Amino acid sequence: MSDNYVQADYVAIKALENGVTIIGLTRGKDTKFHHTEKLDQGEVMIAQFTENTSAIKVRGRAVIYTKHGTIETTV
């Protein structure tokens, strides 16, 4: 594992309802879905931006914690 992964940005996502979907999107010429997770209310996922992951999409009511601040989705 490269040291670059250790220093990559992390986000924490806390589900405020059942069925929150977290989708990882790839880097590169074509952006594609590469990973999907479902969270139930109260569950937390910690995600990392890597060489493969350039974006994370959150669908459903959740709070996203980043080094830039906190974002609450509104659905």
Decide if 44 contacts 70 (C-beta within 8 A): no
β-bridge mates for residue 37, sequence order: 22
pLDDT digits (tens, 9 = 90+) for 36-59: 999 999 999 998 888 777 888 999
List of domains in the chain: 3-72 (2.60.40.50)
Decide if 29 contacts 65 (C-beta within 8 A): no
In the chain, pLDDT over 70 holds for what percent of residues? 88
Report residue 6's pLDDT band, with 50, 70 and 90 as the boundaries. low
Decide if 26 contacts 54 (C-beta within 8 A): yes
Q: What is the pTM of this model?
A: 0.80
Indicate the SS3 state at residue 71.
Answer: strand
